[in-house]
Amino acid sequence: MCTDGVAPRRSRVGARCATPLVAALLLAACNGTTSYMDATGDAGHREATLGWWLTAVACAVVAFVIVAVLLGIARHRNDPHRGEEGVMERRDVKSGLSWIYVGVAVSVVILAISFAGTLVTLNAASRPSITPSMTIDVTGHQWWWEVTYSQANDPALGFTTANEIHLPVGEPVRVRLHSADVIHSFWLPQIAGKMDVIPGQVNETWLEARKAGNSRGMCGEYCGMQHAAMALDVTAESPEAFKQWADERRSGAATPTTASASAGRVVFVRSCGACHSVMGSDALGRVGPDLTHVASRTTIGAGALSNTPAHLAQWIQDAPGVKEGARMPAIPLSDAELRDVIAYIQTLH
């Protein structure tokens, strides 16, 4: 839309292109659910503070230069030594060298403060203040996230979920990053900076939420067709609420009580169990996301659709039609089977 610029109209076309760009940048900076500028995590907060400082300094320098240039032009226009033709008459001109000394000194001081602030921020963001007691192993898949929690002191407290991360406020968590296929990038913008997820290598980072709230995590590196639909729900909550959530995740799925859901479990194990697991059932597949507590998630397909019965039906019947390239094939089920499977999935809280 910005390619119609013939040379004489370039500035107008440039302004037209710049306006949506500036608006998009402002909107991105103001979007509370994804913006790193609105940080609620420990490392993220430090990085956002540095980001605001560097932005303010850059804006101040640009504003100062603009004012200085305008003042110079105004002084030149009002100069009594300017001749009729606008040509300067010969006269003594001060060297102006002292301004260059002042300018260099001020620039060096500003750059040194920015450099020191960057080093302090990078150092503080590189490791948590105390050793984390909890570890999350996050595995990037095309295109979803597998998330396994483990406790150093008690391996029995581990559990696996998908496309969601819960964090206890005020407690640092170690994150080990794995990839099942290609290079991804693990990014919870409001909590901490990005870290690459590389096949054959385990990268480590850490997360610490400073205040409770929900935000959106994402893949920060192009990894194929559905890179954009590779999202995570991030929930920062009180340690008590986190403990309750984790305890629920460690328990297997409840036995369905209605006839429809019971029939749905049989269909699920037969048609879905080779790829998906539901703890406490015979569905043991590890190819796709663990679905033991899928009904409690807000989205399905790693953020592709909101988690409603209609969307579940759409997803089961034709996942590649919703998320082109998704590994999950269309599952041929009769209307009754589909209804029963959805009834079963909705019991998986």
Counting residues that bind ligand CUA (by CB under 6 A) gives 9
Q: Which residues neighbour 328 within 8 Å (Cβ) at sequence distance 6 or greater?
A: 275, 288, 315, 319, 320
User: Rounded distance, CA 106 to CA 109, Å?
Assistant: 5
> By CB under 6 A, is residue 327 in contact with ligand CUA?
no
User: Rounded distance, CA 229 to CA 192, Å?
Assistant: 20
Closest CA relative to residue 195, chosen from 55, 326, 44, 51: 44
> By CB under 6 A, is residue 176 in contact with ligand CUA?
no
Please give the structure tokens belonging to residue 314.
Answer: 């759409």
How many other CB atoms are found less than 10 A from the CB of residue 312? 19
Q: Among 110-118, 148-156, 214-222, 317-325, which window interacts with ligand CUA (CB under 6 A)?
A: 214-222
Q: Among 69-77, 204-212, 216-224, 290-298, which window interacts with ligand CUA (CB under 6 A)?
A: 216-224
> By CB under 6 A, is residue 52 in contact with ligand CUA?
no
User: Rounded distance, CA 291 to CA 277, Å?
Assistant: 6
265-284 residues in contact with ligand CUA (CB under 6 A) are: none
User: Rounded distance, CA 31 to CA 215, Å?
Assistant: 10
* One of 46, 166, 178, 184 touching ligand CUA (CB under 6 A): 184
* One of 176, 210, 227, 250 touching ligand CUA (CB under 6 A): 227
> By CB under 6 A, is residue 162 in contact with ligand CUA?
no
Q: Among 93-101, 162-170, 218-226, 282-290, which window interacts with ligand CUA (CB under 6 A)?
A: 218-226
Residue bearing tokens 């226009």 = 77
* One of 41, 44, 140, 303 touching ligand CUA (CB under 6 A): 140
Please, which residue, 229 or 263, has the CB nearer to ligand CUA?
A: 229
User: Rounded distance, CA 1 to CA 4, Å?
Assistant: 7
Task: Report phi then psi at 213, rounded to 5.
Answer: 155, 165
Pairing status of strand 173-179 against strand 134-141: parallel
Please, which residue, 300 or 348, has the CB nearer to ligand CUA?
A: 300
How many other CB atoms are found less than 10 A from the CB of residue 101? 9
**Window 60-89: contact mask with ligand CUA (x via CB under 6 A):** ------------------------------
Q: Among 17-25, 31-39, 215-223, 277-285, which window interacts with ligand CUA (CB under 6 A)?
A: 215-223
> By CB under 6 A, is residue 138 in contact with ligand CUA?
no
> Which residues pair with residue 292 across a beta bridge?
none
Smallest distance from the beta carbon of 303 to ligand CUA, in angstroms?
12
> By CB under 6 A, is residue 16 in contact with ligand CUA?
no
* One of 137, 221, 233, 318 touching ligand CUA (CB under 6 A): 221
Q: Which 8-state DSSP code applies to residue 266? A: H
Our CA angle for 17, 23, 29, nearest 5°, is 135
> By CB under 6 A, is residue 174 in contact with ligand CUA?
no
Smallest distance from the beta carbon of 325 to ligand CUA, in angstroms?
12
Kindly tell me the sign of the dihedral angle through the C-alpha atoms of 25, 26, 27, 33.
positive
Chain contacts with ligand CUA (rule: CB under 6 A): 140, 143, 184, 219, 221-223, 227, 230
